[in-house]
């Protein structure tokens, strides 16, 4: 990149499990809350923003181009363009890198970027037989035609298609995301015990960070559903009472017979939203804005859909080649925890010379991922993974921790459903 991109500040909603504390919020409502709070924190008026770019995966049927709805609900000027980007799990990163490209091209100066997802509100879908019956009823021109259509009804027509299950299934390889994790567990010989131990560590680190008030620096309190009658300040997912014994009791969820992936060592389905302010390094200096940090370089990569969990290895290899950086140059790493098996598979892929030669076109391994530098405040197994928002959260969480620890460089990376990976090189301000 010809100029570093400044990330000035950011804010996120506390993440809630699907069907839980945030289920009363739509994706547009969650996005509007964090955008309003971001503007208040950076002390800017909406008129000073050039564009709003938001990631979202499950586009709400009642809020087409959800970014535009967010902008208007947040009180931004109607003249300001806003649009939604979608790269599955990396949608929140895509919003930042899209803005970076436009800033470097001189098209915009200041952008609000982020991601939002209400997985609680991903709808159930009528089956084709029921849709056809409704269509026949609408076209019927008399009582006899309507009666004929109704007589064709069968109770099985009402069995719903669960939208979230459809969205988490790759239509090309035919595997849901959990089965891709099972595939990696077998390929890299990852045991159930290793996965459960990793999951427990994620909860412990997240709970420690919550106890120390670290996430309060990046979250905005939210009033939740009426029955809770309180303001919700913290993420719903981390469990202080989580234990290896409790995790061991859970049955495999995706492969009931021989599998090792459970709901305990996978990320939960989650609601949440994140927003950050993005501009050029030059413009930040002109405006007297102190950035959290900078985007130095980024890369996306593609691979087989059934091995999508290895996206971080593929994208990081491209990033290292493009930037001249090496894994040991990074002080901290945020690697999204879609599944414990997927993170451990990446650890082994990064450290394997054979993997690098056979899959990445490299003569040497990417390097050893130091667990002391990896997801130091826990990850999505504990916090949750609102798919359109997680990419932005990784960036925000990493930059906040880099500042707290006075570290210079951070790597934010994740796998992407469908067979892609993303990797962002971040630098301290």
**Which residues are identified as catalytic?**
89, 385, 415
Is the separation of the CB atoms in 380 and 389 below 8 Å?
no
- Backbone torsions φ then ψ of 12, nearest 5 degrees: -135, 160
Q: What angle do CA 394, 202, 196 make, to 5 degrees?
A: 130
Is the separation of the CB atoms in 112 and 275 below 8 Å?
yes
Contacts of 210 (CB under 8 A, 6+ apart): 234, 235, 238
Helix 311-323 crosses helix 340-351 at what angle (to 10 degrees)?
Answer: 40
CA trace torsion 265, 269, 271, 277 (10° rounding) = 60
Contacts of 381 (CB under 8 A, 6+ apart): 198, 199, 202, 203, 265, 266, 267, 337, 339, 340
CA distance 200 to 246: 10
CA distance 145 to 135: 12
Three-state DSSP class for residue 183: helix
Is the separation of the CB atoms in 260 and 191 below 8 Å?
yes
């Amino acid at each position: 990149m010809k100029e570093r991109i400044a990330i000035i500040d950011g804010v996120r909603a506390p993440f809630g499990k699907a069907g839980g504390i945030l289920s009363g919020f739509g994706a547009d409502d969650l996005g509007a809350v964090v955008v309003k709070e971001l503007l208040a924190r950076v002390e800017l008026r909406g008129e000073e923003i050039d564009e709003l770019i938001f990631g979202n995966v499950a586009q709400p049927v009642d809020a087409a181009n959800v970014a535009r709805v967010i902008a208007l609900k947040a009180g931004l000027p109607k003249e300001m363009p806003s649009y939604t980007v979608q790269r599955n799990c990396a949608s929140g990163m895509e919003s930042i890198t899209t803005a970076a490209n436009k800033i470097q091209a001189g098209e915009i100066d200041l952008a609000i970027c982020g991601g939002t997802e209400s997985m609680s509100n991903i709808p159930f879908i009528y089956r084709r037989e029921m849709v056809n019956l409704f269509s026949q009823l609408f076209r019927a021109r008399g009582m006899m035609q309507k009666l004929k259509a109704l007589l064709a009804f069968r109770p099985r027509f009402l069995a719903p298609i669960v939208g979230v299950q459809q969205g988490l299934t790759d239509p090309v390889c035919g595997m849901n995301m959990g089965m891709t994790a099972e595939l990696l567990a077998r390929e890299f010989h990852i045991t159930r015990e290793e996965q459960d131990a990793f999951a427990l560590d994620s909860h412990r680190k997240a709970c420690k960070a919550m106890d120390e008030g670290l996430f309060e620096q990046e979250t905005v309190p939210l009033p939740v559903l009426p029955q809770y009658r309180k303001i919700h300040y913290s993420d719903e997912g981390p469990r202080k009472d989580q234990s290896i014994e409790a995790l061991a009791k859970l049955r495999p969820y995706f492969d009931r017979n021989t599998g090792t992936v459970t709901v305990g060592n996978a990320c939960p389905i989650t609601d949440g939203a994140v927003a950050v302010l993005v501009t050029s390094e030059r413009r930040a200096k002109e405006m007297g804005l102190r950035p959290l940090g900078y985007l130095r370089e980024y890369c996306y990569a593609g691979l087989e859909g059934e091995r999508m969990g290895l996206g971080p290895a593929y994208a990081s290899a491209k990033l290292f080649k493009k930037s001249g950086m090496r894994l040991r140059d990074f002080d901290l790493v945020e690697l999204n925890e879609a599944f414990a098996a997927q993170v451990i598979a990446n650890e082994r892929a990064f450290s394997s010379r054979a993997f690098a030669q056979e899959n990445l076109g490299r003569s040497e391994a990417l390097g050893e991922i130091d667990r002391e530098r990896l997801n130091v405040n826990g990850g999505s197994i504990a916090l949750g993974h609102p798919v359109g928002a997680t990419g932005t959260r990784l960036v925000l969480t990493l930059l906040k921790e880099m500042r707290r620890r006075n570290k210079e460089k951070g790597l934010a990376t994740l796998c992407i459903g469908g067979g892609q990976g993303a990797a962002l090189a971040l630098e301290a301000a």
